[in-house]
Amino acid sequence: MPECTPIKAIDVRNAIEAILGSNKLGENLLGTYQYPSGYEMSAIAVGNTPNSVTVQGLEVFIPLVGDTVRSTWVGAYKHLEQEWNIILIQRDTEGSPTLPFGVDRLQRYFWRSRGVYTPQDDILGSYPQYRFTFDYLDLYPTIRNFN
Task: Flag whether pLDDT at 116 surpasses 70.
Answer: yes
Q: What average pLDDT score do residues 102-109 get?
A: 88
pLDDT computed for residue 65 by the predictor: 85
pLDDT at 2: 41
Q: What separation, in Å, do the N-terminal and C-terminal C-alpha atoms of the chain show?
A: 27
28-43 in b/e burial notation, b at 16+ Cβ within 10 A? bbbbbbbeeeeeeebb
Question: How many residues are there in the chain?
Answer: 147
Among left, alpha and beta (phi > 0; psi -120 to 50; other), residue 96 is beta
139 contact partners, CB below 8 Å, separation of at least 6 = 7, 12, 15, 82, 84, 110
Q: Are 88 and 103 in contact (CB under 8 A)?
A: yes
Give per-residue pLDDT as tens, 53-86.
999 899 999 999 888 777 777 777 666 678 889 9
